[in-house]
Amino acid sequence: MTNAQLNELKQRYVASGAASPATQFADRAENALIWDADGNRLIDFAGGIGVLNIGHRHPKVVQAVKDQLDRVMHTCQTVMPYEGYVKVAEKLSQVTPVRGHAKVMLANSGAEALENAVKVARAATGKNNVICFDGGYHGRTFMTMAMNGKVAPYATDFGTMPGNVFRAPYPVPYHGVSEDEALRGLKMALKTDANPRDTAAIVLEPVLGEGGFYPAPASFLEAIREICDEHGMLMIVDEVQSGFGRTGKMFAIEHSGVEPDIITMAKSMADGMPISAVVGTDKHMDASGGNSLGGTYTGSPVSCAATLAVLEVFEQEGILEKSQALGDKLAERFAKWQQDFACVDNARNMGAMAAVDLVADKASHTPDADLAGALCKKAREKGLILLSCGLYGNTIRFLMPVTIEDEILEEGLAIIEESLEELVGSKTAASA
Ligand code: PMP
């Protein structure tokens, strides 16, 4: 079917809240390229929103999935367990830097992992509250909507949110929130609304994902670790977007050396197959009784096979080194953009988790969300999938596969430069 025919079906049958605003339908994909239903070729700088750190349809993952399909496609693991689940648990326990010996539960999506992490924290501490952060994003289930630090558009139409969720400021000095101020805010939350005697966990992203790719300073993460220890609260780190190699390490928290109690992960775990995980210190993970975590499809055999293949690819193909190298390359290009374009500001990257902000005025950091929207639209017309994010909607984030070929990367970056020139003109051109 053509894009036009598929758009008609979408309009008629897909619920508005679930319908993509994009009008090109994916037909086929390979590494950093997608072809749409009309045969147009697009470069994917969104990587399925950070799902495809090793690219679309990595051949080793495809083979592992096919092999698994030939053996067992599904059994509910609580009824009849299978090798893949326990092997994934073993591997994740070995690579995830939580305190002590790690145990694992598998789920299907990022939001579901966060839901379960909160369940574990409540069971382990016997306490209720969770503290989350401004600009944070954790999903679209009720608990995670309540935890998100950005309400619109996710939680605007859905009535009352679950309680016992409190919020503190996230340190983003560029937007006027210093690390000191963020810590003061957190301590104030603990003194006022979120009594530590009833607070189970502090949940944060070590690098804000949807909130704009701002990394928390290592000293802030260390302070949170100390506060959690002081009050018997768990430190839960949400690495759904920053994990699995995006930042040049397996998990972003490793850059700080801080050991949390629990790490949640999803997205790039299985190269696009649905799976997520909660990995935490054994005594916490074992706090709730039989059959209380999980569900019919959690950690399906096919997704587990894909995860094991992804972990093998990481080892065999030096994915962490590739992530760092890609980040270095992007940083170099961003530095040039900051010189060439008056609107490009605040280039930053932790490995390949990289972003720039588009601003109306560099001195005041005035966000230009309209320009970010216009850039993404123009890039898409020229064959590049590009995503914005951030509390102010003006961050352009880069989530292309770390396995992207140099020529394709170059082609994509050139599309951004050409689009920016068409939209705002370059500084050099303006002053010439
Ligand atoms: N946590 C973070 C940090 C995320 O970036 C996301 C997805 N963008 C989620 C949780 C939710 O994941 P999912 O969409 O798989 O539920």
Write the CB contacts of 387 (distance below 8 Å, at least 6 apart in sequence).
Answer: 45, 46, 49, 376, 396, 397, 399
Domain ranges of the chain: 3-58+318-431, 72-317
Q: What is the pLDDT of residues 347-395, one digit of tens each?
A: 999 999 999 999 999 999 999 999 999 999 999 999 999 999 998 999 9
Residue 210 CA, closest ligand 1 atom number: 5
Q: Give yes or no for a contact between 217 and 229, defined as CB atoms under 8 angstroms apart.
A: no
Query: 137 CB less than 6 Å from ligand 1?
Result: yes
Residue with CA nearest ligand 1 atom 13: 110
Q: Give yes or no for a contact between 52 and 401, defined as CB atoms under 8 angstroms apart.
A: yes
**91 Cα to the center of ligand 1, angstroms:** 22
DSSP designation for 106: E
Residue 274 CA, closest ligand 1 atom number: 15
Query: 99 CB less than 6 Å from ligand 1?
Result: no
Q: What is the pLDDT of residues 58-71, one digit of tens each?
A: 999 999 999 999 99
Q: Report d(CA 272, CA 51) in Å as an integer.
A: 6
Q: Report d(CA 398, CA 409) in Å as an integer.
A: 11
Q: Give yes or no for a contact between 238 and 77, defined as CB atoms under 8 angstroms apart.
A: no
* Number of Cβ atoms within 10 Å of the Cβ of 232: 14
**Ligand 1 probe mutation, 49, 118, 132, 138, most atoms within 8 A of CB:** 138
Q: Give yes or no for a contact between 213 and 397, defined as CB atoms under 8 angstroms apart.
A: yes
- What's the pLDDT score for residue 154? 84
pLDDT above 70 as % of the chain: 98
Q: In the CATH hierarchy, which fold is given to the domain comprising 72-317?
A: Aspartate Aminotransferase; domain 2 (3.40.640)
Average pLDDT over residues 162-176: 95
Phi, psi of 302 (to 5 degrees): -70, -45
**266 Cα to the center of ligand 1, angstroms:** 8
**Ligand 1 probe mutation, 207, 236, 241, most atoms within 8 A of CB:** 241
Alpha-carbon 150 to chain mean position: 15
Q: Is it the case that residue 286 has pLDDT exceeding 80?
A: yes
Q: What is the pLDDT of residues 173-219, one digit of tens each?
A: 999 999 999 999 999 999 999 999 999 999 999 999 999 999 999 99
Residue 427: pLDDT band (50, 70, 90) is low
Q: What is the pLDDT of residues 329-338, one digit of tens each?
A: 999 999 999 9
ipTM: 0.99
Residue 431: pLDDT band (50, 70, 90) is very low
Structure-token pair, residue 82: 């299978």
Residue with CA nearest ligand 1 atom 1: 138
Q: Give yes or no for a contact between 342 and 430, defined as CB atoms under 8 angstroms apart.
A: yes
**364 Cα to the center of ligand 1, angstroms:** 31
Of the candidates 115, 116, 89, the residue with the CA atom closest to the CA atom of residue 103: 89
Query: 210 CB less than 6 Å from ligand 1?
Result: yes
**285 Cα to the center of ligand 1, angstroms:** 21
Radius of gyration for the alpha carbons in the chain, expressed in angstroms and rounded: 22
**Ligand 1 probe mutation, 137, 276, 303, most atoms within 8 A of CB:** 137
Q: What is the pLDDT of residues 128-159, one digit of tens each?
A: 999 999 999 999 999 999 999 976 778 888 99
Query: 115 CB less than 6 Å from ligand 1?
Result: no
Q: Give yes or no for a contact between 64 and 310, defined as CB atoms under 8 angstroms apart.
A: no
Query: 150 CB less than 6 Å from ligand 1?
Result: no
Average pLDDT over residues 41-68: 96
Q: Is it the case that residue 318 has pLDDT exceeding 80?
A: yes
Residue 290: pLDDT band (50, 70, 90) is confident
**300 Cα to the center of ligand 1, angstroms:** 19
CATH code for the part of the protein at 3-58+318-431: 3.90.1150.10
**413 Cα to the center of ligand 1, angstroms:** 26
